[in-house]
Chain A
Amino acid sequence: MKHILVIDDAATVRLYHRNILETAGYSVDEAINGIEALEKALVTSYDLYIVDVNMPKLDGYGFLKEFRRQEDVLQSPAIMVTTEAGNQDKILGYVSGANLYMTKPTKPNQLLSYVRLLLGEVA
């Protein structure tokens, strides 16, 4: 079973994403900000990360930048999820190490198609 880490400071958003992903057959862990996400990602090899941008202590860009410089960790893909639709943000997201970018609020079908695409599950 593919293992996904959902990183968001809003509990409702984490629960929403967890429900969608678990219903589709993935197993899900949660982190409340970038630091907790790093603590988890450095010891567990997740297959995919779903990363919110605005979070206290360490934001989504900060998490990805720090995560991408870790040499001995499986560098799985990441989807950045944000309320900000501006172009500038997207570029920043990609520079930080995101593979895809989604605008909140996410729709289940769109989220799952992105997840499957990045996990190589699309025929």
Chain B
Amino acid sequence: MPAINISDEDFLKFKEYFYRKTGMLFEDSKRYFVDKRLIDRIEATDSGNFRNYFNQLRFEVSGEELQQLVNVMTVNETYFFREEYQFKCLVNSMMDEVTRKKKDDSPIRIWSVPSASGEEPYSIAIYLLEYWSGIHRWDVEIMSSDIDTKIIAQARRGHYSTRSVMNLSKPILAKYFTPQAGGYQICEDLRQAVEFSRVNITNAVDVRNYRDIDVIFCRNLLIYFDDASRRQAAEMFFDAMKEGGFICLGHSESMSRISSLFRVRKFPDAIVYQKPWEA
């Protein structure tokens, strides 16, 4: 069988189509990464070449193959306590400010997007249990969403490689995980603590049920979006949040390139963004 080749024109066509469908825009520097995954899918579907595959993709009614592609194109490299300074900021500053301003005893809502394989939402749960005394007084709802259904299933299972838990101390590992073939299994209590769901954050219908959120973690996702989709995502988060709620972006991301809707807030552990209070 001849090697499958993705021409410049193919890449361009695919890039535009994928952007229109998902809001994800690949820079030319991602070419190698995209080609490799496209070829994988062309082979997996026995399409033979790009043209056949692309036609099949565009005219498929179920949208199954598009979802498969989204699954392989989203990078899911993450580990427990990644960019830990923001979790410190959560327990040392944000949670206390959120509870101080609350008018009733309704649950505090935290939304972690994208969930990837679950390391981030579970890290939030562990941090709250270990380092935030308010957990004994308040109900906390941790929601976590991803566009990739396969990765969500993996997150729900809660099985992790040794590499993924490398940043956890021995006591924490012993307390929340059980060693298992090829890694660690997260405990049942934590699995029950997080509500996972499939959400495309650029789709208004998908996000309609996310309201009154106190803290959002959206790290290293918007870097894959172009300006217009980023701004749209920021608007969506704004509507999903409570006044005074906080949003944390990834280490290399800044609201200065995205939106003017949020205030910059400095805490001892981190700089985060806040939905302003109504004047």
Do A's and B's CB atoms come within 8 Å in the complex?
yes
Residues of A within 8 A of B (CB): 31-36, 38-39, 42-43, 56-58, 66, 70, 72-73
B221 at the interface (CB under 8 A from A): no
Q: Are A39 and B256 in contact (CB under 8 A)?
A: yes
Which chain A positions have C-beta within 8 A of B266?
Answer: 42-43, 70, 72-73
Q: Are B264 and A57 in contact (CB under 8 A)?
A: no
B254 at the interface (CB under 8 A from A): yes
Q: Are A35 and B271 in contact (CB under 8 A)?
A: no
Which chain B positions have C-beta within 8 A of A66?
Answer: 263-264
Tell me how far the C-beta of A66 lies from the nearest C-beta in chain B, rounded to whole angstroms: 7
Q: Are A39 and B260 in contact (CB under 8 A)?
A: no
Q: How far is the CA of A33 from the CA of B258 in the complex (A)?
A: 11
Tell me how far the C-beta of B224 lies from the nearest C-beta in chain A, rounded to whole angstroms: 20
Q: Are A43 and B271 in contact (CB under 8 A)?
A: yes
Given A42-B266, A43-B271, A70-B266, answer yes or no on A58-B260 (Cβ-Cβ < 8 Å): yes
Tell me how far the C-beta of A14 lies from the nearest C-beta in chain B, rounded to whole angstroms: 14
Q: Which of B257, B259, B264 contacts A38 (CB 8 A)?
A: B264
Q: How far is the CA of A32 from the CA of B259 in the complex (A)?
A: 14
Tell me how far the C-beta of A107 lies from the nearest C-beta in chain B, rounded to whole angstroms: 29
- Return the chain B residue nearest A67 by Cβ: B264
Which chain B positions have C-beta within 8 A of A32?
Answer: 256
Which chain A positions have C-beta within 8 A of B258?
Answer: 57
- Return the chain B residue nearest A31 by Cβ: B256
Which chain B positions have C-beta within 8 A of A38?
Answer: 264
The 3 closest A-B pairs by CB, nearest first: A35-B256, A36-B256, A42-B266
Which chain B positions have C-beta within 8 A of A31?
Answer: 256
Q: How far is the CA of A77 from the CA of B245 in the complex (A)?
A: 31
Q: Which of A35, A42, A56, A70 contacts B254 (CB 8 A)?
A: A35
